[in-house]
Every structure is written in structure tokens, then in C-alpha cells.
Amino acid sequence: MSDADAALHAALATVERRNPGQHLFRQAAHEVLESLAPVVKQHPEYVEGAILERMVEPERVISFRVPWVDDSGKIHVQRGFRVQFNSALGPYKGGLRFHKTVDEDTLKFLGFEQVFKNALTGLELGGGKGGSDFDPHGRSDNEVMRFCQSFMAELAHHIGEYTDVPAGDIGVGGREIGYMFGQYRKITGRFESGVLTGKGIGYGGSWARTEATGYGLVYFVREMLRETDYSLEGSRVVVSGSGNVAIYAAKKASQLGATVVGCSDSSGYVVDEEGLDLDLLCDVKEVRRERLSAYASDRSSAEFVDSGSVWDIDCDIALPCATQNELDGDAARTLAENGCRVVAEGANMPCTEEAVHVFQEQGVLFGPAKAANAGGVATSGLEMRQNAGRLQWDFERVDSELDRIMTNIHATAASTAEEYGMPGDLVAGANIAGFRKVADAMLAQGVI
Ligand code: NDP
Ligand code: 2IT
């Protein structure tokens, strides 16, 4: 075994020994380390500098109690976290997730992925992630507000525009960011707009941040298709989820001439052969905050299905935009058999490792999350720039910067894959390019 292989095995063994039961984090670490052999072989300084061991250990994990009172007066206690993973390239940056499944494992996997994704954006962003096992489903605005205030009462001690800048993720959108920003301002007595991103347009937010992850995903797909016989125009697209990422991915895909025939939520999926009515979908999911079945009740061309999987729908392009491990080996085989040619990840780690191998074996073009969904955090980086300059760019300017960044990320992942002898393998290309940027910054900054 070469020194490089031995170092990679040792790093993985350390992850497994130190993180018993943390299957998501172990999966994410395995998926990255598996693709680094060629680069570690060429650069013994990464092994000598213990870069692998340092990278798989978060700089800091903060865990705290979040008590809150519901509308009936009952007291609940949730767990809150912030995982500050790596700050070699900038302040920790990454979203907050409010979902009943959130635990330390979930946030370590997300924080680890975020480090490499943020490096690919080319902006000064370290990586982190946070959140809570609070379940916002069915909660009133006042309950959500009280929870956000309690969560921020502790988080405020750990964040700041130069230290750690949270944003949204599952269960955290404009409403929650607003409540948390208000509480941060009250606790610190400072209007520090760069402390959170995804803020409202009227108080320091950036145009196009709401749309950015979904739009960026579709810009990335457009780049993937550039030198192929396929195009978005005239294609059948299926997205999973029906939240922030899914809705704006569907919107941009439709604008570019695709028909988006399906989407899902945790209760089932919808097939709509006429193409999703995105205004209705936004109304059901974002304004009324109802289940997806309400969409089908309001639209005669749509059918709601509460069994099977959204990946059973025939499509040319599949965009998983809901959650981790939502697309497994069987779903990947079904998609490939049904003629799907392109899969790009809007969610974080939505495809299992087996699914990714199926796509690679079957010649389905595959865009990994770290590259394909980086548009959200990239636009957060643009929001931080606007906040630092105390100005606000217009929608067109932010959108065109986003497009440029996504085009660059695709070019970097593709050229890195080629440089290391794996042409077309955007997984390896994205992992290696992100890793090198962080590793070089860590080496330059010494053993800290
Ligand atoms: P939202 O909360 O807006 O939407 C999440 C959607 O996914 C909902 O439709 C939800 O259904 C569904 N979903 C969530 N968990 C599950 C589950 N366990 N099983 C089935 N469906 C589920 O979140 P976002 O759109 O912001 O995030 C979606 C994905 O994109 C996540 O993986 C996130 O990490 C990733 N991402 C988000 C970015 C952002 O800027 N927001 C940036 C980059 C990546 P239901 O309503 O029924 O729960
Ligand atoms: O997964 C992600 O990249 C996000 N949830 C967005 C993070 C951010 O800081 O904008």
C-alpha cells in the first residue's frame, strides 16, 4: 500500500473509531476520501501536514438546550447545535436546519460537505452547519418565533460577521431568519447585517438569494449538457421535495423550456403531465404551508400518489432536492431503465453511494451536490459582500454573478477530473478541487 493509500485508510479508520453510530458523517467522509488518492499521491506534503486527519475533525461542536413554550403553555425542550467545521478559507458558513431528525451526526455530515462546497465557490467562506430537532410542521408563527428566539439566545454567543455566518436550510427560510436576526440584534445591541444571510430584502438581504440554490442547480445542469446531444429545452424533468430548492429549480428549468412533471414532499408525490403550476405550488407550500395533496386537489391535471417513489416517474432529468439518501440504488436503476440521462443533486447527499455507482456504470451524467447546489451559499457570499459594502445590487446583477460562479464551478470540476485522469467524473473533480483549496490554505496557515 502506498503512503497515500495508507494515510487515506488511517483517516477513514479514525472517522469510524471516533464517531460510532454517526452513519451520515461516515458516509460523507468516505465519499470524499475515496476520491482523493490521486491528489494525495502527488502531494506528500498533505500527508506530512496531517491534513486528512485535521480535515475530518470539526474545529468545534457546540450543543445546547433550547426550551420554548407552545401556544397552549406547554414547555418543550429541543437540542440545538452549531458545528464549526473548518475556517481556513473564511468565517464558518452554512445553513441551519430545523427538522425532527436533526442530530450531531446530521450536522457533522452537512458541515463537512459544506467545507468543500464553499471552497468551490471561490469566495472567502469556511464551512459549518447548525440546527435543531425542532419540528416546525403545524406550528403557529408565534410558536416558531418563540423557538427561534430561544435558539438564538444561545447561538448569538458563537456567531458574528467575522466568525460564523448561518443561513437557511430545511425548515429555515425567510420567516425564521427574520426572527433570529431580530433576536440577535436585541441580544447584542448591534445591527450587524453580515451575521446571517437569507435576510429579507428590506433589511439587508440580497436579491436572488431565495431563488439561488434552485436557479444555480439548473445553470449547472445547463453546463453539464453543453457538449452533449441533450438540452433542457423539451426535456421532462422531475424534482423531489417541494421546498425552497425544488420550487426554484423547477421554475428555472421551466423558464429554459423543460416540462417539470413531478415533485414530492414527505407525504407523497405529485405527477402533473401538463407541467407543474409553480404559482399554485408556491401558494400551497410557501404561503398556506399545506401538504402536497392540496396541490392535486386544486389542479385537475395533477394526481397525488402516497405510495412508491417520485423516482418512478419517467423523466430525462432528475433533480433530487429534498433530503439525504432519498435516492437509493433501486431508484437509480429505475431512473436509468426509464431513460433518465442526467441527475444533479439540489439536496445535500440525496443519492446513496450505490446510486452514484449505478449512474456512473449506466452512463447517466451525474452532478454532485457540492458543486451543483453551491449556488445558494455562493449567493450568501454575495449577500455578505453587499452587507460589508452597505449596498444592495439589483436582481440581474446577483443572478448574473450566480450564473458566472456556477459556470466556473462546473468548469473547475470538469477540468480537475480531466487533470487527474478521470474525465467526466464530476464527483472526483469537485472533491479534489475543493480539497486542494482548503488543504493549501491549511498548510499555509500552520498547525492550528
Ligand atoms: P425546505 O424546508 O424548503 O424544503 C424541504 C423539502 O424536502 C420539503 O418539501 C420537505 O417535505 C422535503 N423533505 C425534507 N425532509 C424530508 C424527508 N426526510 N423525507 C421526504 N421529504 C423530505 O428545504 P430546502 O429546499 O431549503 O432544502 C432541501 C435540500 O437542499 C436539503 O438537503 C438542503 O440541505 C439542501 N440545500 C438547501 C440550500 C438552501 O439554500 N436552502 C442550499 C443548498 C442545499 P415536508 O414539507 O413534507 O417536510
Ligand atoms: O447547504 C447549503 O449550502 C445551504 N443550506 C446554504 C448555506 C448558506 O450559508 O447559504
Out of 310, 342, 372, a domain closes at 372
Q: Is 348 in the pocket of ligand 1 (CB under 6 A)?
A: yes
Q: Are residues 260 and 320 in the same domain?
A: yes
The tens place of each residue's pLDDT in the chain, 448 residues long, gives: 788 999 999 999 999 999 999 999 999 999 999 999 999 999 999 999 999 999 999 999 999 999 999 999 999 999 999 999 999 999 999 999 999 999 999 999 999 999 999 999 999 999 999 999 999 999 999 999 999 999 999 999 999 999 999 999 999 999 999 999 999 999 999 999 999 999 999 999 999 999 999 999 999 999 999 989 999 999 999 999 999 999 999 999 999 999 999 999 999 999 999 999 999 999 999 999 999 999 999 999 999 999 999 999 999 999 999 999 999 999 999 999 999 999 999 999 999 999 999 999 999 999 999 999 999 999 999 999 999 999 999 999 999 999 999 999 999 999 999 999 999 999 999 999 999 999 999 999 999 9
Q: Are residues 50 and 153 in the same domain?
A: no
Instruction: Provide φ and ψ at 319, rounded to 5°.
Output: -125, 90
Cα of 65 from ligand 1 centre, angstroms = 24
Residue with cell 449506466: 362
Maximal C-alpha separation, the chain: 63
Q: What is the DSSP string of 260-318?
A: EEEEEETTEEEEETT---HHHHHIIIIIS---THHHHHT-TTEEEE-SS-GGGS--SEE
Q: Is 167 in the pocket of ligand 2 (CB under 6 A)?
A: yes
Q: Are residues 299 and 324 in the same domain?
A: yes
Residues annotated as part of the active site: 129
Q: Are residues 281 and 239 in the same domain?
A: yes
Give domain status of residue 228, yes or no.
yes
Cα of 274 from ligand 2 centre, angstroms = 32
Q: Is 265 in the pocket of ligand 1 (CB under 6 A)?
A: yes
Q: Are residues 187 and 44 in the same domain?
A: no
Residue 270 is part of a domain; what is its CATH number? 3.40.50.720
Q: Are residues 220 and 358 in the same domain?
A: yes
Q: Is 176 in the pocket of ligand 2 (CB under 6 A)?
A: no
Out of 342, 372, 402, a domain closes at 372
Give domain status of residue 384, yes or no.
no
Side chain identity at residue 87, one-letter code:
S
Q: Are residues 41 and 69 in the same domain?
A: no
Q: Are residues 38 and 78 in the same domain?
A: no
Q: Are residues 227 and 312 in the same domain?
A: yes
Q: Are residues 230 and 278 in the same domain?
A: yes
What's the confidence (pLDDT) of residue 227? 87
Give CA separation, 274 vs 237, 254, 258, 303, 344, in Å: 12, 12, 11, 11, 23
How many CA atoms within 13 Å lie on the side-chain side of 406? 31
Give domain status of residue 445, yes or no.
no
Out of 139, 158, 191, a domain closes at 191
Atom of ligand 2 nearest to the CA of 379: 10
Give domain status of residue 396, yes or no.
no
- The answer to whether the CB of 128 falls within 8 A of the CB of 46 is no
Residue 161 is part of a domain; what is its CATH number? 3.40.50.10860
Q: Number of structural domains, the chain?
A: 3
- The answer to whether the CB of 388 falls within 8 A of the CB of 376 is no
Cα of 164 from ligand 2 centre, angstroms = 13
- Rounded to two decimals, the pTM is 0.98
Cα of 251 from ligand 1 centre, angstroms = 16
The residue whose CB lies within 8 Å of the most ligand 1 atoms, and thus the one to mutate among 265, 293, 345, is 265
Give domain status of residue 406, yes or no.
no
What's the confidence (pLDDT) of residue 2? 85
Q: Is 386 in the pocket of ligand 1 (CB under 6 A)?
A: no
Instruction: Provide φ and ψ at 160, rounded to 5°.
Output: 170, 160
Determine the structural domain holding residue 42 and report its residue range: 3-55
Q: Are residues 301 and 159 in the same domain?
A: no
Q: Are residues 171 and 248 in the same domain?
A: no
Give domain status of residue 395, yes or no.
no
What does the block give as the cell for 208? 436572488
Cα of 247 from ligand 1 centre, angstroms = 10
Taking CA atoms only, the protein residue closest to ligand 1 atom 19 is: 266
Give domain status of residue 427, yes or no.
no
Give domain status of residue 410, yes or no.
no
Q: Is 379 in the pocket of ligand 2 (CB under 6 A)?
A: no
